[in-house]
Amino acid sequence: MNDSRRWAALAVLLVAEAMNLLDTTIVQVAAPAVHAELGGAASTISFYTAGYTLPFALLLITGGRLGDIIGRRRTFQVGVAGFVLTSGLCAAAATPGFLLVFRALQGASAALVIPQTIGLIRVLFDGAARARALGMIGPVMGLAAVTGPVLGGLLTDAWSWRSVFLVNVPLGLAVLAASGLLAEDRSASRPRLDLLGTGLVVLGAGLVVCPLLTQWNGYLVAAGVAVLVVFALQQRFRGGLIERSLFGGLGFPAGLATSVLFFAVMTGLTQVVVLFLQLTQQADARTAGLSLLPWSCGLAVSSFAAGRWLVPRFGTRILFAGVAFLAVGIAGLALGWPVLVALAVAGTGTGLFTVPFFTAALALVRPSETGSAAGLLNAVQQLGGTIGVAVLTTAFLATDVTIACWTAVALTLAAGLTAIGLIRGTRAGSPSEPSRAGV
């Protein structure tokens, strides 16, 4: 394959990656308009985001295994086709129930697409070219994060909330048409699918998260926790979805806990801000989308600075500065600071956190564990976002924005505490040291 064909194939993968993040952020802004037209309980506003991210999170690892078994390009194509179809069905939905079903199927389709991109990039490139190709994922994701809320507000205000789903159709069809540029690839070891593990984690997480989105039900949450305990035991003794060796030390589990807490704040807070502006301040969708620009711009600038200068100079402990900035920005919202100023401070903290966090988490991983660790981190990140939407939007709808913000501050500080375990684990040694040998 010549160079121009390789880089064209990379563009196909990057558009698919951007489509997923764009879909999450664009719908957050449109959700109040969806509720205004379709009706239903106020809790359905949260479900329009969580109904996508929850199945996406829980099926990511299974999607990666399917790529290993039947081929990454084939799985990628099936996922993109499903994403296009379900996007069109979301745009045509006439009731909240149908929209929620189609959103869940859309998230499941994305779970087939996203795990394949890294593997396909590794097939396309090697050496310095591979590093350049992988390095392009971050800027593309940053651009999608910046444009998503703005585009969602503009489309909803100019036409209809249905247009935010229709955006995916031409993008997805273009990706599908160009997917022939991708080389087929599959794992030589042909791992098995862990259907029991997948079923347990989907059931357990659903029982925990759904009551948080609607009306608290302690019995359902307890049942969900019990199912997740069974899942943990099943993985401990049989494996299948998760590499057991990742849990041989403190660092990586602490990183997973940190990821849940931090991304709960990051995703849940943006949803709360959108709801506050549209439901309380009576702003239109376009204004709400544009109001998130300081957050997105602060994230983009600080993540670039962290990767280019701060982490190389100060190390991964710079993530604690990110925790501080994020907590101060959210507290500013609770205390009545101008929304744009508070969001700029919080967005800066987000960028300062994410780069050193992933650097520290992956520093603990052996080469043979990289695929499993990256998939698990991505899945936990999405699950944390789902929980954040559930907890913070429920707090906002049940009380007010002040309570939701102070809840977010508490979660941010908790993420800082669990990050101590991650950093200590990183400093204690690398995967090649004797302390991790034999795990």
Per DSSP, the residues of 103-161 read HHHHHHHHHHHHHHHHHHHHHH--HHHHHHHHHTHHHHHHHHHHHHHHHHHHHHHHT-T
Say if CB 385 and CB 213 are below 8 A apart.
no
User: HSE on the CB side for 277, CA within 13 Å?
Assistant: 26
Q: Is the pLDDT of residue 359 over 90?
A: no
Say if CB 186 and CB 116 are below 8 A apart.
no
Residue 73: exposure state from Cβ atoms within 10 A (0-12, 13-18, ≥19): buried
Residue 437: predicted pLDDT? 30
Q: Over the stretch 208-223, which tens digit does the pLDDT of each residue have?
A: 877 776 666 778 888 9
Q: Is the pLDDT of residue 166 over 90?
A: yes
Q: What single-letter amino acid sits at 393?
A: T
Q: Which of 104, 79, 74, 76 is nearest to 89 (CA)?
A: 104
Rounded Cα–Cα distance for residues 220 and 209 (Å): 9
3-state secondary structure of 395: helix
Say if CB 385 and CB 267 are below 8 A apart.
yes
Q: Is the pLDDT of residue 190 over 70?
A: no
**Tokens matching residue 29:** 């802004």
Q: What is the pTM of this model?
A: 0.79
Specify the residue for token string 């908790």. 414
Q: Over the stretch 221-239, which tens digit does the pLDDT of each residue have?
A: 889 889 988 988 887 777 6
Q: Is the pLDDT of residue 49 over 60?
A: yes
Confidence of residue 272 (pLDDT cuts 50, 70, 90): very high
Dihedrals φ, ψ of 16, to 5°? -65, -40
- Three-state SS letters, 212-249: HHCCCCHHHHHHHHHHHHHHHHHHHHCCCCCCHHHHCC
**Tokens matching residue 88:** 């069109």
Max mean pLDDT range (25-39, 115-129, 359-373): 25-39
Specify the residue for token string 């993008």. 171
Rounded Cα–Cα distance for residues 95 and 106 (Å): 16
1-180 shares its CATH topology with 243-429: yes
Rounded Cα–Cα distance for residues 98 and 176 (Å): 25
Rounded Cα–Cα distance for residues 9 and 21 (Å): 19
CA distances from 208 to 100, 307, 377 (A): 18, 36, 19
DSSP 170: H
Where is pLDDT greater, at 139 or 283?
283
Confidence of residue 131 (pLDDT cuts 50, 70, 90): low
Q: Over the stretch 380-428, which tens digit does the pLDDT of each residue have?
A: 888 888 889 888 988 998 888 999 999 999 999 999 999 999 988 776 5
Fold designation for 243-429: Growth Hormone; Chain: A; (1.20.1250)
Fold designation for 1-180: Growth Hormone; Chain: A; (1.20.1250)
Domain ranges across the chain? 1-180, 195-241, 243-429
Specify the residue for token string 């376009």. 286
